[in-house]
Amino acid sequence: MKELVLCLVPFVLFVGCEKNQPPEKPITPIGAVYCTTGVAYTYKVTAIHPQGEMLEFQFDWGGAVGDWDNRVASGETALVSHVFETAGTYPVAARARDSEGLLSPWSDPLSVSAVDVPSGPPRGLSLQAASDSTVRLSWSPPAEGVPSGYRVMFKPVGGGAPVVACETTDTTCEHDPAGMTGDYHVLALFGSRSFAGAETLTTIPVASGSAWVGELSGSDNAGYGWLGPGWQGATYEMLDTTWVDRIDLYVTDLKPGSVGPTYYLASPDLAPLDSGGSVPAGRWHGTSFVELTDEQSRVPPPGDSAWRSSARVPGAMVAGCRTEQGYFAMVNVTQLRIQQNEVRLQTWFQPVHGLRLLRH
């Protein structure tokens, strides 16, 4: 009898691991197919990952490939904005990448046509006081097209960097410069492009050089005033009413003779009653004064009790002025010469009516 031999062959069961798979092909991007150059448009895309991994997307904008961005879950929508800077037709496609770096195929392209639109600067810029310390700028739209918005830039006096005063879709802007004066420029925005208006609007006061102004009883011109549109200060005699509409202040010691020792900056409408001269009656201007600490001091508002019809000039001093017409100015008396019956002064005049900003 033969012996039965049983051979046992080991059986090994191999369980295979599922291989990582790349993302599936994204859908054709969704977004505007007719665009204006310089304007940002948003496009959407989505893709599925077989193993549910997170995805990020890269766009080909028709020759310009963007960065990887917009990380979303599998099947969720990614959003990306793009500006077509030049006119043309662009095939826009997208692809996906998972955390392992596996790439999907490129999507079918979306054909996008970008066209130029007429564009140009704002017109008819103007500036006026919104209050005694804030400004209002206004302008008309460009003749060449309708912008997406406007940007107003403010460059403070003294060389400070320009700052954005406001951005708006309106054709007016109010700005509080916090006591500063400076230059304004208005730009029309067409997407990422901007066109600046030709005009420079300014609140920087007009400086007038040094001038000697005589005391009312002396032989030199005792009157001083500012005349538009240049707003340069000048001296005038007060022996008759020839210059009555040009004089905003005069120098006096408020008594006969010119010996002082104290002089004053005085409102012209006081002059006919001043015992130190022979000024005829007339429609002389009424001016208010306020003594200031220095040239860069802020002038108080019109209703402040510090305003007077005259300002004492014991020597070098600074005074703010408010003219009868509602303009503001600053007077810096730099020298007092009683023997010569005169004072030396320099001035700064704010040409924006009603604005009491005088930083210079």
Give the residue carrying structure tokens 């012996």: 3
pLDDT-derived band at 71, boundaries 50, 70, 90 = very high
Which residue from 135, 192, 189, 193 is spatially nearest to 165, judged by alpha carbons?
135
Tens digits of residue pLDDT in 180-216:
999 999 999 987 788 999 899 999 999 999 999 999 9
CATH number of 34-115: 2.60.40.10
pLDDT at 41 exceeding the cut of 80: yes
Inter-residue contact 254 to 266 (CB < 8 Å): yes
Kindly report, as residue ranges, where domains of CATH 2.60.40.10 are found in the chain: 34-115, 123-202
Q: What is the mean pLDDT of residues 123-152?
A: 93
* Residue 229: exposure state from Cβ atoms within 10 A (0-12, 13-18, ≥19): exposed
CATH number 3.40.50.300 is the correct assignment for the domain at 123-202: no
Which residues touch 162 (CB under 8 Å, ≥6 apart)?
153, 154, 155, 185
Give CA–CA dist 307/137, Å, rounded: 29
DSSP 8-state symbol, 272: G
pTM flag (> 0.75): no
Inter-residue contact 104 to 46 (CB < 8 Å): no
